[in-house]
């Protein structure tokens, strides 16, 4: 039974809290509105349609300073953030699993090396690591006056790696669609394989047919388009008077950020993997060894599948951290979302409230989406616990 006096007090305290928060928000908004009006800034997202007029070093979509709007700049930044975080997530997962497993290997040197790696990378600020990688990458590359060249259309210099860029417009858009179709078909294969295992039949092979579908379908589509007399247009990089022009440019900033982020996150993933491996009861390992499975088989068939249940939740939050950490790009000048939008666009337009809100909304959306997926996974994992 609830105490009526207590519930009155609860209501009162909460009402006061709501009122206080609302007053605070109102005062802040009123002050901001007044100051913005004094600076002659029009509130709202109308500024996104204005011409940007600045260039961006690396862009996945065609972007020209002369015609682009702030909306284009936002998209370029967002795509660059997603590109570098996506690649860093893949690389750091591979490296992190290798090092995490090495920490529990039978080889003494491998264990010691993995421990040193984890302690070294975890205990240094990412910002410092990025500075070091940036200097190291630039020292290692050939000077821009004398770039290295492979074949007709790939150059490498201190200004970056230049590759031919296919233009997927018109009929050529079928190629990316084929990639999506390949991924979908692989998903169906995985389901069929799971069903076969559940029914006690031999699993359907997934790895090679899947790789063939994801890579082969778009290649086939591109070949078919070429045979039909409408090949995918390609923008080739070429040596200009000062620099290499055209094509797809991957800058040293990108390389430094990618290496730095991947190696840093890998240290954290290694710790997650290690705690996952430790969570599997040693009886499992011993029973599998008694059934004469080799060390690799024990790991692959018995320990890792059980460890994954412990590994996946912290792993996803580490992936989110990687995405958020990619915002350190601003330090070495890689044009990610924060650099392009919170840096250049904010300085040019002074639309502080809108720019900050939009940038934070992007990261919050990513976080919320991940949290939702994670909750569903946890519910499923809890349901299948044996």
Contact set with another protein (CB under 8 A) = 10, 13-14, 17-18, 21, 27-28, 31-32, 35-36, 105-110, 113, 119-120, 122-128, 131-132, 135, 295, 324-325, 327-328, 330-331, 338, 342, 346, 352-353, 356, 359-360, 363-364, 366-368
| For another protein, the closer CB: 132 or 301 | 132
Packed helices 70-102 and 352-383: angle between N→C axes, nearest 10 degrees: 40
* Nearest residue (CB) to another protein, 196 versus 360: 360
Number of H helices, E strands in the chain: 14, 8
Contact indicator for 229, 221 with CB cutoff of 8 Å: no
Are 267 and 116 a contacting pair, CB within 8 Å? no
Q: How far is the CB of 16 from another protein (least distance, A)?
A: 10
Phi–psi pair at 123, nearest 5 degrees: -95, 10
Identity of the residue, 172 or 337, whose beta carbon is nearer to another protein in the bound complex: 337
What separation in angstroms does the CA of 136 have from each of 47, 125, 253, 255, 256?
A: 39, 17, 11, 11, 8
Select 61 or 109, whichever has its Cβ closest to another protein: 109
Total residue count of the chain as it appears in this document: 386
Closest CA relative to residue 256, chosen from 117, 136, 126, 97: 136
Least distance from C-beta 192 to another protein, angstroms?
Answer: 33
Closest CA to 280 of 308, 252, 261: 308
Distances from the Cα of 41 to the Cαs of 32, 49, 96, 256, 342, in angstroms? Answer: 11, 15, 47, 37, 17
In angstroms, what is the minimal distance from the CB of 108 to another protein? Answer: 4
Specify whether the CB–CB gap between 247 and 286 falls below 8 A: no
Laid out side by side, the sheet with 154-157 consists of 148-150, 154-157, 160-163, 248-250
Closer Cβ to another protein, 127 or 223, answer by number: 127
- Name the minimum Å distance from CB 52 to another protein: 19
Considering beta carbons, is residue 80 or 221 the nearer one to another protein?
Answer: 80
Task: Compare residues 105 and 158 and give the one whose CB is closer to another protein.
Answer: 105
Beta strands in the chain (DSSP E): 148-150, 154-157, 160-163, 165-166, 234-235, 238-239, 244-245, 248-250
Q: What is the closest distance, in whole angstroms, from the C-beta atom of residue 139 to another protein in the complex? A: 10
Q: Which is nearer to another protein, 101 or 258 (CB)?
A: 101
Nearer to another protein, 64 or 127 (CB): 127
- Give least dist CB 266 to another protein, A: 16
State how far Cα 103 lies from the chain centre.
Answer: 26
**The Cα angle at residue 270 between residues 268 and 274, in degrees rounded to 5:** 120
Q: Give the shortest CB-268-to-another protein separation in angstroms.
A: 11
Least Å distance, CB 6 to another protein, is 9
> Minimum distance from CB of 223 to another protein (Å)?
39
What is the C-alpha separation between 30 and 196, in angstroms, rounded?
Answer: 63
């Amino acid at each position: 039974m609830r105490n009526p006096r207590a519930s009155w007090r609860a209501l009162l305290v909460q009402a006061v809290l709501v009122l206080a928060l609302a007053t605070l928000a109102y005062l802040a908004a009123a002050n901001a509105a007044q100051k913005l009006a004094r600076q002659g800034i029009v509130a709202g997202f109308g500024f996104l349609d204005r011409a940007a007029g600045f260039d961006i070093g690396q862009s996945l979509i065609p972007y020209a300073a002369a015609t682009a709007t702030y909306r284009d700049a936002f998209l370029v930044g967002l795509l660059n953030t997603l590109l570098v975080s996506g690649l860093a997530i893949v690389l750091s997962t591979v490296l992190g699993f290798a090092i995490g497993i090495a920490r529990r290997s039978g080889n003494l040197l491998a264990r010691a090396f993995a421990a040193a790696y984890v302690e070294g990378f975890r205990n240094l600020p990412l910002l410092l690591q990025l500075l070091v990688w940036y200097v190291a990458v630039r020292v290692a590359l050939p000077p821009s006056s004398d770039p290295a060249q492979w074949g007709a259309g790939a150059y490498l210099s201190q200004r970056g790696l230049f590759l031919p860029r296919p233009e997927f417009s018109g009929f050529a858009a079928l190629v990316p669609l084929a990639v999506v179709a390949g991924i979908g078909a692989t998903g169906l294969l995985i389901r069929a394989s799971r069903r076969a295992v559940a029914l006690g039949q031999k699993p359907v092979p997934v790895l090679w047919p899947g790789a063939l579908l994801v890579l082969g379908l778009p290649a086939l589509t591109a070949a078919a388009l070429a045979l039909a007399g409408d090949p995918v247009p390609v923008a080739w990089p070429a040596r200009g008077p000062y620099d290499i022009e055209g094509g797809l440019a991957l800058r040293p900033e990108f390389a430094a950020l990618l290496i730095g982020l991947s190696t840093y996150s890998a240290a954290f993933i290694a710790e997650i993997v290690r705690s996952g491996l430790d969570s599997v009861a040693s009886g499992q390992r011993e029973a599998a060894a008694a059934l004469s499975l080799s060390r690799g088989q024990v790991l692959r068939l018995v320990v890792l599948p059980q460890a994954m249940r412990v590994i996946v939740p912290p792993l996803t939050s580490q992936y989110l951290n990687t995405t958020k950490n990619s915002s350190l790009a601003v330090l070495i000048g890689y044009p990610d979302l924060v650099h392009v939008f919170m840096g250049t666009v904010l300085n040019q337009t002074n639309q502080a409230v809108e720019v900050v809100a939009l940038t934070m909304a992007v990261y919050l959306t990513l976080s919320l989406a991940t949290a939702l997926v994670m909750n569903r996974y946890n519910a499923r994992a809890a349901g299948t616990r044996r």
